[in-house]
Amino acid sequence: MNGNKVHPSSKASAHYRNSNSSAAATTGAPIGRPAPLQSDSAAGCAGAKSVPVLPQMIGAAAAAAAALAASPSSSGLTPGAASLVGAGASAADSAAHNMELASLFECPVCFDYALPPVIQCQAGHIVCSNCRAKLTSCPSCRGPLANIRNLAMERLAAQVQFPCKYASNGCLAAFHHTAKAEHEEICEFRPYVCPCPGASCKWQGSLENVMQHLTQQHKSITTLQGEDIIFLATDINLPGAVDWVMMQNCFGYHFMLVLEKQERMDSQVMFYAIVQLIGTRKQAEQFAYRLELNGQRRRLTWEATPRSIHDGVHAAIANSDCLVFDSNIASLFAETGNLGISVTISMATAAAVATGSLNSSSDLPQQQQQSSSICGQGMQIG
Ligand SMILES: [Zn+2]
Ligand SMILES: [Zn+2]
Ligand SMILES: [Zn+2]
Ligand SMILES: [Zn+2]
């Protein structure tokens, strides 16, 4: 972990995790949004625990309402259960019936669904695979957890539409069990996790609360205003895995800049630089970012669409879907161990967003650093 060195070229105040200065770093107020209806909700199995019945009722009620509107016999005077006739009634019935069947798959421990392969105890009780991995005996009868598959339940599961596990957060979608997990990965009701790289912070909650979390729990992250800034990573030669993080505010949004250093198995050192938006995937698609390293007659540029923090940067880094360079390239562009990365955020145009692009060139005249760019120092994490 680094001390309190500040690179001489740093024009913005630098903030470290352990420093107690906070003035400039906290200027980014949360963007104007209505107050969240619901505070942090747990993810995973436990997410479904709170109100497993609610989605059933919503689903059934919605089906009934739709059926009511479509019903030719609707007089509009006294809509109610009694006026449900014909196709309307059967649609509502089948939604209710589906939920009844789905409830048969509820895990007695976490109330998530025990999806195929369905494993039962010797007495026939089922438990979801998540909970099963943590149990030594059946939660219903305390009997041994044998590896007995329940094929009848598995066949039944194929006939059931299971509600999304974020139903209690407001998701109304239901899926065949094979499509459920895939949806939940991208479900917009999935809680957001702390966007800081490195797994040390376990916070999760709604999008509206992310900025508040960052300004309260990660006070030392530097924030700069503007579309064009310099992200300064100091001491890039520090050994081991290090993340540098900074915030950039422009267009009314907050962007998080991440430089991650990894040491690979073959002891080669790789750097990954990426930008993520504190926002949804849809919001992120409105923007493009450009990262640029400028050095002696050299320039390395990467342009792409920012990631949404809902997706995070881990997968993108693992897939090298970001600005990637090794320690040799880093040393070409670094000055006395500090690396400045020019970051430009822009509104996406149709042509620019299509794909990420990478250009490198060594024939360029030395790039004039835009004098308007302000420079801020990335906070080191881990
Ligand atoms: Zn469970
Ligand atoms: Zn049992
Ligand atoms: Zn969902
Ligand atoms: Zn956090």
**Who has greater pLDDT, 287 or 296?**
287
Reported confidence tier of residue 277, pLDDT bands at 50, 70, 90: very high
**Gap from CA of 134 to ligand 1 centroid (Å):** 9
In this model, does residue 75 exceed pLDDT 70? Answer: no
Mean pLDDT of 112-139: 91
Proximal ligand: closest to the CA of 245: 4
Verdict on whether the full-model pTM lies above 0.95: no
Average pLDDT rounded to a whole number, residues 116-137: 91
Fold of 53-163: Herpes Virus-1 (3.30.40)
Enclosing H/E stretch for 346? strand 339-347
- CA of 41 from ligand 3 middle (Å) equals 14
**Residue spans per domain, the chain:** 8-31+191-381, 53-163
- Which pLDDT belongs to residue 377? 80
Ligand nearest to C-alpha 137:
2
Given phi > 0 = left and psi -120 to 50 = alpha, else beta, which region is 251? left
Per residue in 246-268, pLDDT (tens digit) is 999 999 999 999 999 999 888 89
Sheet holding 298-304, edge to edge: 357-361, 298-304, 287-295, 339-347, 228-233, 374-377
Ligand 3 geometric centre to CA of 51 (Å): 15
- How remote is the CA of residue 102 from the centroid of ligand 3, in Å? 16
| Stretch 31-47: mean pLDDT | 36
**Ligand 2 centre distance from Cα of residue 149 (Å):** 13
Q: Which ligand is nearest to the CA of 192?
A: 4
Ligand 2 centroid to residue 157 C-alpha, Å: 20
**Domain 8-31+191-381: which topology?**
2.60.210
Q: At 183, which amino acid appears?
A: H
Q: What pLDDT is stored for residue 95 in this prediction?
A: 87
Closest ligand to Cα 189? 3
Condensed to tens digits (0 to 9), the pLDDT of residues 334-368 reads 999 999 999 999 998 755 444 555 555 554 444 44
